[in-house]
Amino acid sequence: DAGITQSPRHKVTETGTPVTLRCHQTENHRYMYWYRQDPGHGLRLIHYSYGVKDTDKGEVSDGYSVSRSKTEDFLLTLESATSSQTSVYFCAIRARGGGLLMGYGYTFGSGTRLTVV
């Protein structure tokens, strides 16, 4: 396991409240990602980070912000939660495999199930 921990695992929140999800890794990986998973859509990229304080938007970034103040933590914030943000959120890290030909592997956390009521 790549040592990825997501918290909380489950959360119910009210529309309009801010919510922060945390992704913590223990292996000093440079690249970290936030995806959301919805039925019929697969996984879609929200934001990603390629280093401390280096982040960029993904396909579905509207309504979300991220921060990475240290290598091990990547935070996803919903500034004002809406019902359309009810989803399962997965954090992922990208790790280099062994040798030049191994390429990168992506490992996913256990997920956070968020319900906005």
Partner 1 sequence: ELKVEQNPLFLSMQEGKNYTIYCNYSTTSDRLYWYRQDPGKSLESLFVLLSNGAVKQEGRLMASLDTKARLSTLHITAAVHDLSATYFCAVEDYGGSQGNLIFGKGTKLSVKP
Binding track, positions 50-89, relative to partner 1; x by CB under 8 A: x-----x-x-------------------------------
CA 9/CA 101 separation, integer angstroms: 35
CA 98/CA 10 separation, integer angstroms: 35
Q: At closest approach, how far in Å is the CB of 5 from partner 1? A: 12
Please identify, among the stretches 14-22, 70-78, 79-87, 93-101, the one whose residues bind partner 1 according to the rule CB under 8 A: 93-101
Q: At closest approach, how far in Å is the CB of 112 from partner 1? A: 11
- Residue 59, both tokens: 């396909």
Among positions 53, 62, 103, 117, the unique one binding partner 1 when judged by CB under 8 A: 103
Residue 28 interacts with partner 1 (CB under 8 A): yes or no: no
CB atoms within 10 A of CB 55: 18
Question: Quick one: how far is CA 29 from the chain centroid?
Answer: 14
Read off φ and ψ for residue 105, nearest 5 degrees. -120, 145
